[in-house]
Structure 1
Amino acid sequence: MQAEKLAYYPFTSEASAHVGNLGISLESLLNSRAYRAARVRGIERVKEALEGEIKKSPLSGEAQVLSELLSYPFARMLVACVDDQLFTRRYALAEAKSAYAFLRNETPDFLLEFGDDFGISADFQDSYFGMHFTDYIRFSNSLKDPSWKLTNRQLRAGKIKITKEEFARLLEEAIRERIEQSFPIPEIPPEVSSFCAPYVAGIKEQFEVQKKKFGATDFGAVEPELFPPCIAHALANVQGGVNLAHSMRFAMTSFLLNVGMSVDEILNLFNVSPDFDTEKTLYQIEHIAGSTGNAYKPPACDTMRTYGNCVGKDRLCEKISHPLGYYERRVFIKNKEKEQTEGAKQKKNEESGGGEKGNENEIKEKKGNN
């Protein structure tokens, strides 16, 4: 693979070997002026991952190719120092998505060679790829569109028939998995931690801002007692260790994100489920939260009814067409009642002499009479 190609796919075994053969020391990568552009690009790479897309422009000249190639190991140092599982997943996803944009335009021969690096058994014939069903299941497992289900695929001689674009999409999943599984790094050299510390602080701050965006609607503090009956029922089932149907799991997760719960808080809710898988669940929650650039709203009440997820309907439900509308209305009613209660107390205090001030006046009057 040419150096320019390696720079676009720096997570491949060949790219790693190429960087190793350059003989660049860790001290040089961190401190040499010759690699300043690589460090700047590495920081940019990580920050762009927070936004969901790592931008890659056409490369020209050996210096630019080298900087792009070396920016990846430096970016990995930053991610390792951040040391946050959710952040790592977001970074891995952004790197994989960026690679997919290029993979979909590569030749079939290149894609087959690329797949070999990930241990994927495949061939190309009559404009279609044939992928061994075990590899297909492994990398399509996290893809939610029904078209990816094995039952919707042609299986012949142990291989699944897929298009070039579909093969590239599955390679994207293979890249994401490889990058994710390369973290955490057991021992980070002290000089790396020290050098990266100022940049890591800024990255963490930016990430906290991004996480707050996951909840699209600001309802203030989350109040579970005000949830609509369908969500309350689903939440009780999850906490009781009952598996939810996929449609209800999506509805509950998207609802909780939109009322302000964090990805980590929702992940903790699911950890009592019999089929709980941390990696898979975190990926699903983050996807619904908008890690791919499209945050989801929960389904409307009509859709909930269609899927049999409308449970425990009450009088307020009759006037509401969306679970978020139900919650917003309950919050409004509660705040209104609170205002009325506080107003009544204040009025009562004023009528009784204004609280402590009234008591002082009353004491003065009694002394004057005496």
Structure 2
Amino acid sequence: MQAEKLAYYPFISEASAHVGNLGISLESLLNSRAYRAARARGIERVKEALEGEIKKSPLLGEIQVLSELLSYPFARLLVACVDDQLFTRRYALAEAKATYAFLRNETPDFLLEFGEDFGILADFRDSYFSMHFTDYIRFSNSLKDPTWKLTNRQLRAGKIKITKEEFARLLEEAVRERIEQSFPIPEIPPEVSSFCSPYVSEIKEQFEVQKKNFGATDFGAVEPELFPPCIAHALANVQGGVNLAHSMRFAMTSFLLSVGMSVEEILNLFNVSPDFDAEKTLYQIEHIAGATGNVYKPPACDTMRTYGNCIGKDGLCATISHPLGYYEKRVYIKNKEREREQGKEKENEEKKEVKKGKSRKEQEKEKGKT
């Protein structure tokens, strides 16, 4: 494969071997002026991942090709030094999405060769790919659209028939999985951590801001006692170790994100569930939070009723059509009551001050008479 191609797909085995054959030491990659552009591109690569899209422009000449190729191992060092599982997933997803943008325009022969690097043995005939159902399940398992369910596919002789676009999408998942599983990098040398430290601090700071804003609406401090009955019921079940139906788990998670809870806080809520899987749960929460670029909002009350998730309906429920509307109304009512109470307290204080003033005048009057 040409070096330019390898630069666009730096995580495949051939690209790794090519970089190894260049004989560039880690010290040179970090310190040599010759690789300053590669380091700059590596930093840019990671920062673009923060925004959800790594941009890959046409490469002009050997120098740009080399810088793009070497930017990947440097970017990996930065991600490893950040040492945050959520950020690692975001980075892997961004790399995979950028890859998909190129794969969908590649030839079928290239896609077949690319798939082999991930252990996927597929065929191409009559404008369709076919792959073994075990590979299909492995890489489609995290895709939520019902069309990816095995029950919605034709299975013949152990193989699934898919379009070129779909095959490229599954290869995207293969890339994401490979990059995710390549972390953490064991035993990063102290000199590497020291060199990366200024960049890592900036990346962490930006990511912390993003994590706080994932899907959050400004309702102020989260007040669980004001949640609608359906969400309160789901929370009670989760904290009691009861498994939720998928539809209710989605509704509760999207609601909690929308009112301002963080990904980590929600993950901690689920850790008492009997079937708790930290990695899988974290991925699902991030997905709903918008890690893939699409922030999911909680379903409306009609949808909650359709799935049997409208539980404990009260008088206020009859006046609203969405769980977030219920919470917003409760927050509004509570704030108004607080304002009234504060107004009464202020009025009482003023009355007390007036009485004190009158009392002083009376005392002074009595003194004047004596």
Shorter chain as normaliser: what TM range?
Answer: over 0.9
- Contact 1:38/1:70, CA 8 A, preserved across alignment: yes
Give the paired residue count.
Answer: 369
Q: CA 1:33–1:326 in 2, change beyond 3 Å: closer, same or farther?
A: same
In structure 2, give the amino acid aligned to 1:52: G
**How is 1:212-223 mapped onto 2 (pairs within 5 angstroms)?**
212-223=212-223
In structure 2, give the amino acid aligned to 1:92: A
TM-score by length of structure 1 reads 0.95
**How is 1:71-82 mapped onto 2 (pairs within 5 angstroms)?**
71-82=71-82
The answer for the alignment partner of 1:115 in structure 2 is: 115
Q: Using the alignment, how far apart are the partners of 1:338 and 1:206 within structure 2?
A: 35
The answer for the alignment partner of 2:69 in structure 1 is: 69
Q: CA 1:2–1:312 in 2, change beyond 3 Å: closer, same or farther?
A: same
Q: CA 1:178–1:366 in 2, change beyond 3 Å: closer, same or farther?
A: farther
The answer for the alignment partner of 1:56 in structure 2 is: 56
Question: Is 1:155–2:136 an aligned residue pair?
Answer: no
Question: Is 1:226–2:226 an aligned residue pair?
Answer: yes
Q: Using the alignment, how far apart are the partners of 1:354 and 1:93 within structure 2?
A: 67
| Superposed displacement of residue 352, structure 1 | 2.1
The answer for the alignment partner of 1:326 in structure 2 is: 326
In structure 1, give the amino acid aligned to 2:70: L
Q: Using the alignment, how far apart are the partners of 1:226 and 1:337 within structure 2?
A: 14
Q: Using the alignment, how far apart are the partners of 2:309 and 2:295 within structure 1?
A: 21
| Superposed displacement of residue 119, structure 1 | 1.2
In structure 1, give the amino acid aligned to 2:253: T
Q: CA 1:358–1:19 in 2, change beyond 3 Å: closer, same or farther?
A: farther
Q: Using the alignment, how far apart are the partners of 1:365 and 1:182 within structure 2?
A: 85
| Superposed displacement of residue 359, structure 1 | 11
Q: Using the alignment, how far apart are the partners of 1:227 and 1:68 within structure 2?
A: 49
| Superposed displacement of residue 267, structure 1 | 1.1
The answer for the alignment partner of 1:202 in structure 2 is: 202
For residues 251-276 of structure 1, the C-alpha deviation after alignment (integer angstroms, 9 at most, x for no partner) is 11111111000111111111122222
Question: Is 1:246–2:246 an aligned residue pair?
Answer: yes
The answer for the alignment partner of 1:131 in structure 2 is: 131
Q: CA 1:38–1:345 in 2, change beyond 3 Å: closer, same or farther?
A: same
Q: CA 1:345–1:58 in 2, change beyond 3 Å: closer, same or farther?
A: same
- Contact 2:215/2:295, CA 8 A, preserved across alignment: no
| Superposed displacement of residue 368, structure 1 | 4.9
In structure 2, give the amino acid aligned to 1:248: M
| Superposed displacement of residue 212, structure 1 | 2.0
SS of residue matched to 1:353? helix
| Superposed displacement of residue 361, structure 1 | 4.8
Question: Is 1:181–2:192 an aligned residue pair?
Answer: no
Q: CA 1:157–1:344 in 2, change beyond 3 Å: closer, same or farther?
A: same
**How is 1:271-286 mapped onto 2 (pairs within 5 angstroms)?**
271-286=271-286
The answer for the alignment partner of 1:84 in structure 2 is: 84
- Contact 2:215/2:290, CA 8 A, preserved across alignment: no
In structure 2, give the amino acid aligned to 1:320: I
Q: CA 1:320–1:2 in 2, change beyond 3 Å: closer, same or farther?
A: same
Bigger mean CA deviation after superposition, 269-278 or 44-53: 269-278
| Superposed displacement of residue 146, structure 1 | 0.6
CA RMSD of aligned residues (A): 1.9
Unaligned runs of 5+ in 1: none
SS of residue matched to 1:27? helix
Q: CA 1:344–1:77 in 2, change beyond 3 Å: closer, same or farther?
A: same
| Superposed displacement of residue 157, structure 1 | 1.4
- Contact 2:301/2:321, CA 8 A, preserved across alignment: yes
| Superposed displacement of residue 285, structure 1 | 1.0
Q: CA 1:352–1:33 in 2, change beyond 3 Å: closer, same or farther?
A: same
Unaligned runs of 5+ in 2: none
The answer for the alignment partner of 1:289 in structure 2 is: 289
Question: Is 1:99–2:68 an aligned residue pair?
Answer: no
Q: Using the alignment, how far apart are the partners of 2:222 and 2:2 within structure 1?
A: 53
**How is 1:309-348 mapped onto 2 (pairs within 5 angstroms)?**
309-348=309-348
Q: CA 1:361–1:260 in 2, change beyond 3 Å: closer, same or farther?
A: farther
Q: Using the alignment, how far apart are the partners of 2:238 and 2:170 within structure 1?
A: 31
| Superposed displacement of residue 147, structure 1 | 0.7
In structure 1, give the amino acid aligned to 2:36: R
SS of residue matched to 1:291? coil
In structure 2, give the amino acid aligned to 1:24: I
- Contact 1:142/1:280, CA 8 A, preserved across alignment: no
What stretches of structure 1 move > 4 A for 4+ residues in a row? 357-370
The answer for the alignment partner of 1:26 in structure 2 is: 26
Q: CA 1:273–1:45 in 2, change beyond 3 Å: closer, same or farther?
A: same
The answer for the alignment partner of 2:191 in structure 1 is: 191
In structure 1, give the amino acid aligned to 2:344: A
For residues 164-192 of structure 1, the C-alpha deviation after alignment (integer angstroms, 9 at most, x for no partner) is 11111111111111111111112111111
SS of residue matched to 2:188? coil
Q: CA 1:140–1:354 in 2, change beyond 3 Å: closer, same or farther?
A: farther
Percent identical residues = 86
| Superposed displacement of residue 43, structure 1 | 0.4
